[in-house]
Amino acid sequence: IVFAVSMLGAMIFAVLAIFAVCKIKTENIDFFEKLCRNRKLGVIIGFPLVCWCVPHTQAIIFSWAEPYLWYAAVVLTVLSYFYLDYLFARALGGAFIIGAYCFVHWAYEFQVTGGIALTVIAWLWGICGICISAKPSFLRDYFRKCASCKKLKIVSYLFFGLTDVIFAVSLVGGLLK
């Protein structure tokens, strides 16, 4: 069920991304530039991702530090709210990375239809996430470029649309097995 819910969530995100790219214009670029730096949305997206990482970290952390992982997740989220810039962009990049990991893992675990296509599109999402997380201003620059370049908008529509098609095929194929 986690696979199905995650795939549906990713498909909804891709549809929303198509609508967001449609809305990017030079007149409203300020909204999208401020969105990249939004700390509240960054915490809303980032904290569940950090919590998702805690059980996976328990396998590799020193045993004396294990009881403090949940506290560290809360403290680091609070610190990131106050001290990190472009928090929304960083959290979105992290979501792309974790999503890519999960979708590649599930493509092989559940032997879904279109597993290779799902893996390739997940790798692309993961690469985007790594780039955004490494340099969060890339998301702002992407918004700026989308406002002025129709070709980039078309490529974005195709990428998000292809994501939806591949995820739908994988979801249906995974549910039918």
Residue type present at position 15: V
Q: pLDDT tens across 2-54, in order? A: 778 888 889 999 999 999 999 999 999 999 999 999 999 999 999 999 999 99
∠ CA 148-161-108, nearest 5°, is 130
Check pLDDT > 90 for residue 157: yes
Q: pLDDT tens across 101-119, in order? A: 988 888 888 777 777 888 9
Check pLDDT > 70 for residue 177: no
Percent of the chain with pLDDT over 90: 76
Write down the mean pLDDT value for the chain: 91
**Which two tokens mark 80?**
């990131």
Q: For the whole model, what pTM was predicted?
A: 0.90
The rounded distance, in Å, linking the Cα atoms of 76 and 176 is 41
Question: In this predicted structure, what is the pLDDT of residue 4?
Answer: 82
Higher pLDDT, 94 or 167: 94
The rounded distance, in Å, linking the Cα atoms of 77 and 26 is 33
